């Protein structure tokens, strides 16, 4: 397999773009381009934003906001999981502290 990235053609709002991409990342790139195209079409078809550059900026802002919300939710989940693990560990340590030593 060649180390050189392949060139992949994607179509976004009726425009073709050639993107250099490692072969193994091609499916993810195509999925991302399809998702971006759908989001940009939604904004364009709403009629509230005119111009490719403005549509792209609006979609980028919306996607960045979604990413930040997901990241925050993930961080919150990590903290909650850590709290639960600590509470469980304390319960186990307490239970083991009250039990009699094992006799062999």
Q: Provide the pLDDT for residue 54.
A: 95
Task: Please give the domain boundaries of the chain with CATH numbers for all domains.
Answer: 6-98 (3.30.160.880)
Q: Both tokens of residue 71?
A: 């990241």
Q: Provide the pLDDT for residue 83.
A: 84
Q: Provide the pLDDT for residue 100.
A: 59
Residue 47 has phi, psi (to 5 degrees) of 80, 0
Q: Provide the pLDDT for residue 2.
A: 52
- What gap in Å lies between CA 54 and CA 78, rounded to an integer? 36
Torsion of CA 79, 84, 89, 90, to 10 degrees: 100
Residue matched to tokens 């925050």:
72
Contacts with 30 (C-beta within 8 Å, 6 or more apart), sequence order? 8, 10
pLDDT in tens, 52-94: 999 999 999 999 999 999 999 888 888 888 888 888 888 887 8
pLDDT in tens, 1-11: 456 789 999 99
């Amino acid at each position: 397999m060649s180390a050189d990235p392949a060139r992949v053609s994607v179509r976004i709002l009726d425009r073709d773009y050639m993107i250099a991409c490692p072969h193994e990342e091609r499916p993810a790139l195509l999925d991302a381009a399809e998702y971006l195209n759908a989001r940009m079409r939604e904004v364009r078809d709403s009629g509230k934003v005119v111009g490719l550059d403005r549509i792209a900026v609006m979609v980028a802002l919306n996607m960045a906001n979604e990413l930040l919300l997901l990241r925050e939710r993930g961080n919150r989940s990590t903290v909650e999981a850590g709290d639960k693990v600590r509470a469980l560990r304390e319960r186990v340590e307490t239970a083991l502290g009250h039990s009699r030593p094992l006799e062999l």
